[in-house]
Amino acid sequence: MIGCMAAVAASPSDAIGRTLDRIAYVCLCAFIFVLPWEDTVPLIGGLVLSRWIGLLAFATTLMRVAVAPNRKKLFALHYGMLAFAGWSGLSIFWSVDWDSTLARIGTYLQLLVLAWLVWEVAATERTPRPRTASVIRLRRLCLFDRRHRQPDDGTLIRPSG
């Protein structure tokens, strides 16, 4: 009976899912790392490097969800974010400035995808806090470096206070 359970747990889709999970985590960390330098990195094929890495993280996570369908349940907070983005999307019907409303809807959709990526990839059942904490630490490091640079010449400045 135990040997039968081990054979079920070590199915090829589980192995592929774990591999895709690791790749998606690396892509997510790389995306968070390059995000602060979005405006300074040159375009590659019409998109900045952070968009390419973000698309790669999104595609890898979608493949992982398709191969290993053991997805995490969303919390009420996720549904609240979805409702907020949906309401913002509906505001296009009564908006005076359509262009800025479309830009805001695009931004909210990107933020929803990022929240879903972090939820699916960074917070796992085995190691929920260390993985999520590493993503947060990486983001803080990138923001610290971005905050202490002059935007025009890239030289470091001293923090005030």
Q: Does residue 119 sit within a domain?
A: yes
**What pLDDT, on a 0 to 100 scale, did the predictor assign at position 97?**
87
How many C-beta atoms lie closer than 10 Å to residue 21's C-beta? 18
Q: What is the C-alpha separation between 121 and 99, in angstroms, rounded?
A: 33
pLDDT in tens, 88-121: 889 888 888 889 889 999 889 988 998 888 888 8
* 101: in domain: yes
Considering the domain boundaries, does residue 118 fall inside one?
A: yes
The predicted model scores a pTM of: 0.66
- Confirm if 105 and 92 have CB atoms less than 8 A apart: yes
Q: Is residue 138 part of a domain?
A: yes
In a domain, 1, yes or no: no
- Which carries the bigger pLDDT value, residue 69 or residue 129? 69
Q: Domains in the chain: how many in total?
A: 1
Per residue in 71-90, pLDDT (tens digit) is 778 888 889 999 999 998 89
Range of the domain at 106: 9-147
The answer to whether residues 33 and 142 touch, using CB atoms and an 8 Å cutoff, is yes
The C-alpha R_g of the chain, in whole angstroms, comes to 19
In a domain, 157, yes or no: no
- Give φ, ψ of 68 to 5 degrees: -115, 90
122 belongs to a structural domain = yes
Asked if residue 152 is part of any domain, the answer here is no
